[in-house]
Amino acid sequence: MSQSNAYSATAEVGQLRERRSRWETIKLELRKAPISAWFGFIVIGCYLFVALFSPLLAPHGEAEIFKTPFAPWDAKHILGTDQIGRDVFSRLIYGATNTIGIALATTLLSFLIGGGLGLAAAITGGWLDQLLSRFVDVLMAIPSLIFALMLLTIFGSSIFSLICIIAVLDSTRVFRLTRSVAINVTVMDYVEAAKLRGEKLGWIMRREILPNIMPPLIAEFGLRFSFVFLTIAALSFLGLGIQPPTADWGSMVRDNASMIQFAKYDITAAMTPMIPAAAIALLTVAVNFVVDWFLHKTSGLNDEH
Min separation Cβ 63 and another protein, Å: 22
Nearer to another protein (CB atom), residue 49 or residue 190: 190
Among 30, 207, 222, 248, binds another protein (CB under 8 A): 207
For another protein, the binding residue among 26, 30, 193, 218 (CB under 8 A) is 193
Residue 74 in the binding site for another protein (CB under 8 A): no
Q: CB nearer to another protein: give 74 or 189.
A: 189
Tell me how far, at minimum, the Cβ of 169 lies from another protein, in Å: 12
Burial 82-95, CB ≥16 within 10 A → b, else e: beebbbbbbbbbbb
Rounded Cα distance between 69 and 86, Å, is 7
Phi (first) and psi of residue 65, to 5 degrees? -105, 130
Of 53, 195, 298, 299, the one binding another protein by CB under 8 A: 195
Which helix (H) or strand (E) element contains residue 271?
helix 267-298
CA-wise closest residue to 158 among 82, 86, 90, 235:
235
**Do 54 and 87 meet the contact criterion of CB atoms below 8 Å apart?**
no
Nearer to another protein, 60 or 147 (CB): 147
Tell me the closest approach of the beta carbon of residue 75 to another protein, in angstroms: 26
Q: How far is the CB of 21 from another protein (least distance, A)?
A: 12
Quick one: which of 133, 238, 268, 295 contacts another protein (CB under 8 A)?
Answer: 238
164: which residues sit within 8 A by CB, 6+ positions away? 109
73 sits in the region (left: phi over 0; alpha: psi -120 to 50; else beta) called beta
Write phi, then psi, for 275 (nearest 5 degrees): -65, -50
Count other Cβ atoms within 10 Å, centred on residue 245.
13
Residue type at 284 in one-letter notation: T
Residues numbered 29 to 58 that lie near another protein (CB under 8 A) are 32, 36
What residues from 141 to 180 belong to the interface with another protein (CB under 8 A)?
141-143, 145-147, 149-155
- Judged by CB under 8 A, the stretch of 71-79, 89-97, 163-171, 252-260 that binds another protein is 252-260
Footprint of another protein on 264-293 (CB under 8 A): 264, 270, 273-274, 277-278, 280-281, 284-285, 287-289, 292
Residues 209-228 that bind another protein (CB under 8 A): 211-212, 226
Q: How many CB atoms sit inside 10 A of residue 139's CB?
A: 16
Report the nearest approach of another protein to the CB of residue 56 (Å): 28
For another protein, the closer of residues 19 and 67 by Cβ is 19
Contact 147, 139 (CB under 8 A): yes
Pick the binder of another protein from 67, 127, 138, 160 (CB under 8 A).
138
Cα gap 64→34, rounded to integer Å: 42
Instruction: Give the binding-site size for another protein (rule: CB under 8 A).
Output: 81
Question: Which are the contacts of 15, defined by CB distance < 8 A and separation ≥ 6?
Answer: none
Stretch that binds another protein, among 12-20, 76-84, 89-97, 162-170 (CB under 8 A): 12-20
User: Are 150 and 161 contacting, i.e. CB atoms less than 8 angstroms apart?
Assistant: no
Give the range of 11-19, 88-96, 99-107, 159-167 binding another protein by CB under 8 A.
11-19
d(CA 149, CA 98): 21
